[in-house]
Amino acid sequence: MVTDRTVLDSQLQNTIYQFEHAQGVVRPITRDIGSQSKSEQLAEALAAQTRIIIVTIQTFPALFEALDKYPRLASGRYAVIADEAHSSQTGSSAGKLKAILGSDLPEGEEVSAEELLDAAVAARRPNERISYYAFTATPKAKTLELFGRPANPALSPGKDNKPEAFHLYSMRQAIEEGFILDVLQNYTTYGAAWKIAHPDGGDEEVDSKKARSKLARWVRLHPYNIGQKVEVIVEHFREHIRHLLDGQAKAMVVTSSRQEAVRYQLAVKEYVRQQGYADVHPLVAFSGIVLPDEVIPEEVTESSSLLNAGVNGRDLAEALDSPDFNVMIAANKYQTGFDQPKLCAMYVDKKLQGVDCVQTLSRLNRTFPGKQTFILDFFNEPQDILDAFLPYYTRAELTDVTDPQIIYDLQKRLDAEGIYHWQEVEAFALAFFDPKAAASKLSYYCQPARERFARRHQLAGEARRQARDFKRTAEANGDGAGLKKAEHALKEAGEQVDQLDLFRKNLQSFVRLYEFLSQIVPYEDRELEQLCVYARHLHPLLRIDRLQEDDIDVSELQLTHYRLTKRAEHKLRLS
């Protein structure tokens, strides 16, 4: 049983143990058992033919090393049950899972890079030794294509023979039968209006898209903006939520970044202290570290005493379930797979759309005696939320199947840019699949493309800055012809930068699309496999060059006006 999130992994283990207690039938793969790594535990469990194994999909890639120890792994018959089938079930981790369970690797003591490349291509073919069973409440198009069954199995999937779910238990039926709650019954929206000033700023032209994003982020992180929302959240929680479920009710605040989540936590704690409240106890959940800034006094993590004092080493989900805490402030964490039946309210300060919207707000749909749900949204429009839920209310359907030829069209566009040369791709792939090759070889073969990309990006950036200077000079001198020429040069330079940005995005799109389509379509094309592994390594090397662009200085901005108003209370109707 495979899941792509640790929190779901532990839930599965607990659920299966409830109905199967026979010794040795079920084996969870967890760090809590012995000194073995999770991959070693998994390889051992598979080799021992353990009937039910529960694991996260991220553990599978490291199993390639274990194949030498247990070569018979690739000759068994397997049922792969994917709980919450999402992106991770259609990407590289899922491909590696298939390769481990169902591909015949080259035989012999000495295995060449060429043979491993051929094996990688072969591993992507459909395999009759593996049966897949996937469960999800929010099937994406990719999920339906990969796991769905065509209406007529004798024909190839197409517009008139689209893959569909084997079985459907709809959101509507689950709500009507009382297994989950309709979370959109009490939906309140707030709107913010603000005005900023730059009294001592110069008249400098900047990229409008980049400037709008930077200004919006500056306002979002502004202490006054967060302070006003914190007041609304705390007072609403105390008046409408805290007393529910005999005082056990919980709430979640959804933010868009780690920095914002930490600032929210500090603001909530300060507001509660100023008001003398003793019934609001917040936690903050995020990954990694947040660096100090003008509001956050020191570098912090989830476990910092400045933020989550009183957790005492507990898992945050466990801490929230206790009487010690009742509000969780989250940044891209606990928004999927989090099961807390006492969660009654959600305060949203983040753009939500599509599957992410449904997954996030559905944290509220767990049933509990006497439970009501409330959502306060500072960011989204009610119709956008309704549009996100409607496709999953009754039945999610494909509009069409993906054209397999699109991967070749994307390859041609990438080749045409001339950022990489094909001999570099081939050399990289040979080094990648050569178990004896040094890791430095991978960077070596990516370096020429990185330098070409950086050089073009630098030249385009310089051309754009020169064009802006010419434009300002022409405007100052009233030179109409010069102004027209400068605007044309500025447009051309901008298009060059956009073209390089598109190449970088297409590089990532190629990897994702090939890793998905190759599980459906038996391409058996070595060039596609070579470009996939090369593009996956090259893409992150190109992103750092964006840091070399001129930044937009917002240090002297002033927030002169601000108003936060309650717009409306909605009962969003799905039926």
Question: pLDDT for 125-183, tens place per residue?
Answer: 566 777 777 777 777 777 777 778 888 888 878 878 888 888 888 888 888 888 989 99
Check whether 475 has a pLDDT greater than 70.
Answer: yes
Pick from 58-72, 98-112, 379-393, 399-413: least confident:
98-112
- DSSP-derived secondary structure letter, 300: B
CA–CA distance, 260 with 268 (Å, rounded to integer): 12
Across residues 258-264, what is the average pLDDT? 93
Residue 111 confidence (pLDDT): 46
Cβ pair 161, 151 in contact under 8 A: yes
Residue 544 confidence (pLDDT): 55
What's the pLDDT tens digit per position in 41-83? 877 887 788 888 877 766 655 455 555 566 676 667 778 777 6
Q: Which tokens belong to 18?
A: 């409830």
Helix or strand or coil: residue 295?
A: coil
Helix or strand or coil: residue 427?
A: helix
Cβ pair 138, 355 in contact under 8 A: yes
Angle between helices 526-543 and 480-517 (to 10 degrees): 130
How sure is the predictor about 272, in pLDDT bands with cuts at 50, 70 and 90? very high
Domain boundaries defined on the chain: 2-136, 175-397, 406-548
Written out in words, the top-level CATH class of the domain with range 175-397 is alpha beta
First to last CA, the chain: 34
The answer to whether the Cα torsion of 415, 417, 421, 427 is positive or negative is negative
Q: Which tokens belong to 341?
A: 């039946």
Nearest to 531, CA basis, from 403, 405, 423: 423
How sure is the predictor about 547, in pLDDT bands with cuts at 50, 70 and 90? very low
Residue 299 confidence (pLDDT): 92
Residue 173 confidence (pLDDT): 86
Pairing mode of beta strands 130-135, 52-56: unpaired
Check whether 109 has a pLDDT greater than 50.
Answer: no
Check whether 566 has a pLDDT greater than 80.
Answer: yes
In the chain, what percentage of residues exceed pLDDT 70? 79
Pick the CATH number of 406-548 from 1.10.760, 1.10.3470, 1.20.58, 1.10.540: 1.20.58
Query: DSSP per residue over 508-560, as a string?
Result: HHHHHHHHHHTTTS----HHHHHHHHHHHHHHHHHHGGGGGSPPPP-TT-EEE
Amino acid (one-letter) located at 152? N
Nearest to 509, CA basis, from 422, 410, 419, 429: 410
The distance of Cα 559 from the centroid of its chain, to the nearest Å, equals 32
Strand partners for 497: none
